[in-house]
């Protein structure tokens, strides 16, 4: 007996959730020092219970203070970028849209570069400066895209391209005249989860799920918007209001994510596109499935960034681009056929 569409989507979500849990545990075990699955569970169990288990103190530090917050943060970043991509592709009615058309990545790069060169270099100052400039860039593009109180999609895309190019030029200018900080700026622009901590995870946990619930609440409106603005208005959707809420939500989701970990390309583009082929365009199912799928994709990329080269780490943004670009071309070709 063939499963109904609703049951099939639930099954996809359950399977992906189990895969995510597996990858979280598997990812914690990976690294220069291999730690067994049993010991990982004992370390996590000892943290939440009063059981006195015989645990290696160095392994405990590695799991709880280094790997676990990094793995969870990577999962949330992947989820944030993915659902942002889903929502933006929905309001633009274009599967080529991604979170960075709103200028968040270019703004974050510029803000981080300013902090690295002119302020005391620390994760707090870099992250805060990146977040502020990414939000400013997003709202500037949003303002430029308005035409008689309406958000013009073409204007938004053009403003995003122009401002991103300008800010990228400023970042290159800063790098040329500040050779000592060149590596720090370059590392940020390539993305990295190195240095992740529990405070970052807690903040991103709150913002990611808040953003998800806002977007999921609007899943019916997103479905209707794919029919066109005029059709949506005739049904009773407040098109401009919905667009504003979605643009603000996705901008903040992306801004907070990239302020912590730097610029990570292709996640918000490739993951929604892939799962749209699997689930269809109903945002009721596409949003939660892309949420989990984005987390899995980011964990795979982060694992590769940590393990491909011994005693060295490749910026995760390079991995996502290497995987994402050819995969996207394949999906694009498949969709065309």
For strands 150-151 and 146-147, give the pairing.
Answer: antiparallel
- Burial tier of 153 (Cβ tally within 10 Å: 0-12, 13-18, 19+): middle
pLDDT tens digits for the chain (337 residues)?
A: 456 788 889 999 999 999 999 999 999 998 878 888 888 888 888 877 766 666 777 888 888 889 999 999 999 999 999 999 999 888 877 777 777 777 778 888 888 888 888 876 566 777 788 888 888 888 888 788 777 766 677 777 788 888 888 988 988 888 888 777 777 788 888 888 988 889 989 989 999 999 999 999 999 999 998 888 788 888 888 888 888 888 888 888 888 888 888 888 889 988 998 898 888 889 999 999 999 999 999 999 999 999 888 878 888 989 998 888 887 777 667 766 6
The span from the CA of 222 to the CA of 213, in Å, is 14
147 backbone dihedrals φ, ψ, rounded to 5°: -140, 105
Query: Which pLDDT value is given to residue 302?
Result: 94
Domains assigned to the chain? 5-336 (1.10.3470.10)
The span from the CA of 229 to the CA of 215, in Å, is 18
The span from the CA of 229 to the CA of 240, in Å, is 9
The span from the CA of 25 to the CA of 29, in Å, is 7
Query: Which pLDDT value is given to residue 284?
Result: 93
Other Cβ atoms within 10 Å of 318 Cβ, number: 17
Torsion of CA 283, 1, 292, 28, to 10 degrees: 180
The CA–CA distances, whole Å, from 238 to 102, 130, 146, 252 equal 21, 32, 16, 21
The radius of gyration computed from the CA coordinates of the chain, to the nearest angstrom, equals 21
Question: What is the DSSP annotation of 146-161?
Answer: EETTEE-HHHHHHHHH
């Amino acid at each position: 007996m063939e499963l109904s569409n609703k049951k099939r989507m639930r099954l996809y979500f359950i399977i992906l959730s189990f895969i995510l849990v597996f990858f979280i545990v598997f990812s914690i075990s990976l690294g220069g020092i291999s730690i067994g699955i049993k010991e990982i569970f004992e370390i996590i169990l000892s943290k939440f219970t009063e059981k006195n288990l015989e645990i290696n103190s160095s392994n405990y530090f590695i799991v709880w203070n280094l790997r676990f917050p990094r793995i969870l943060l990577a999962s949330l970043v992947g989820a944030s970028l993915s659902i942002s991509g889903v929502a933006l592709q929905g309001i633009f009615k274009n599967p080529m849209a991604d979170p960075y058309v709103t200028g968040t990545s270019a703004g974050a790069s510029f803000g981080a570069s300013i902090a690295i060169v002119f302020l005391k270099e620390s994760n707090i100052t870099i992250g805060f400066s990146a977040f502020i400039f990414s939000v400013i860039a997003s709202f500037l593009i949003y303002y430029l895209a308005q035409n008689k109180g309406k958000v013009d999609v073409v204007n938004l895309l053009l403003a995003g391209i122009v401002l991103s190019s300008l800010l990228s030029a400023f970042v290159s200018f800063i790098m040329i005249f500040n050779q000592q900080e060149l590596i720090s700026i370059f590392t940020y622009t390539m993305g990295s989860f190195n240095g992740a901590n529990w405070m970052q995870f807690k903040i991103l946990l709150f913002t990611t799920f808040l953003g998800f619930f806002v977007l999921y609440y609007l899943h019916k409106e997103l479905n209707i918007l794919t029919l066109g603005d005029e059709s949506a208005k005739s049904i009773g959707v407040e098109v401009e209001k919905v667009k504003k809420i979605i643009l603000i939500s996705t901008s903040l989701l992306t801004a907070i994510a990239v302020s912590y970990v730097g610029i990570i390309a292709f996640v918000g583009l490739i993951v929604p596109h892939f799962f749209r082929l699997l689930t269809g365009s109903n945002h009721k199912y596409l949003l939660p499935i892309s949420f989990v799928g984005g987390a899995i994709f980011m964990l795979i990329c982060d694992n590769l960034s940590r393990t491909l080269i011994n005693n060295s780490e490749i910026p995760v943004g390079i991995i996502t681009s290497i995987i994402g670009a050819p995969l996207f071309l394949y999906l694009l070709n498949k969709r065309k056929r």
